[in-house]
């Protein structure tokens, strides 16, 4: 049975390990030492900038979801933005991702959101099929990003 629990000071280290596992899966750089410390602090603080929950199976954290709220000016309502959803490969196919996703849908409804949004890597077709199975529509938008030196270079 899967239990979803909030990330707190007692399990934040495991949360960061799962974030690193997602980075490895996506062939991206995981957070460095300072990033790890910020994740632990932010995920377990009372004034956290995002919400994070672990999927527990037999007392073991095997996946997680991270989301935050943005605002749609067109809907004049909040939007739940799904930042990460991840399940360790050896636990996939057991409905854990579905339970985490439905948890987010329930949170969006509870918070009165007008919609839920997220991004998926172009090559991750299993994720596309997963989301489309819930009726999600793929948008014809481009995601842009400024980070690091590019962000600092703007005067």
User: Is the whole-model pTM more than 0.85?
Assistant: yes
Whether 109 and 144 have beta carbons less than 8 Å apart is answered as no
Query: Given this model, what pLDDT does residue 42 score?
Result: 94
DSSP character for 29? P
Query: Given this model, what pLDDT does residue 46 score?
Result: 84
Superfamily, domain 2-153: Gcn5-related N-acetyltransferase (GNAT) (3.40.630.30)
Range 13-21 contact pairs with CB under 8 angstroms and sequence separation of 24 or more: 13/40, 14/54, 14/61, 15/39, 15/40, 15/43, 15/52, 15/54, 15/61, 15/64, 16/40, 18/54, 18/61, 18/63, 18/64, 18/86, 18/88, 19/64, 19/84, 19/86, 21/86, 21/88
Query: Given this model, what pLDDT does residue 45 score?
Result: 86
Q: What is the mean pLDDT of each run of 10 residues along the chain (155 residues)?
A: 95 97 95 95 90 97 98 97 97 97 98 97 94 95 92 92
Q: Which residues pair with 66 in a beta bridge?
A: 52, 84
């Amino acid at each position: 049975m899967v239990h979803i629990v909030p990330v707190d000071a007692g399990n934040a280290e495991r949360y960061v390990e799962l974030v690193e596992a997602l980075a490895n899966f996506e062939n991206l750089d995981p957070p460095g030492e300072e990033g790890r410390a910020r994740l632990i602090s932010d995920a377990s603080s009372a004034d956290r900038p995002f919400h994070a929950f672990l999927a527990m199976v037999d007392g073991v954290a095997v996946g997680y979801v991270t989301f935050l709220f943005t605002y749609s000016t067109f809907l004049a309502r909040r939007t739940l933005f799904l930042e990460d959803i991840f399940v360790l490969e050896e636990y996939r196919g057991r409905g854990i991702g579905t339970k985490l996703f439905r948890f987010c849908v329930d949170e969006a409804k509870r918070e009165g959101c007008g919609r839920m949004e997220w991004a998926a890597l172009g090559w991750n077709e299993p994720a596309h099929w997963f989301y489309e199975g819930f009726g999600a529509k793929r948008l014809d938008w481009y995601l842009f990003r400024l980070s690091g030196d590019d962000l600092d270079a703007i005067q």
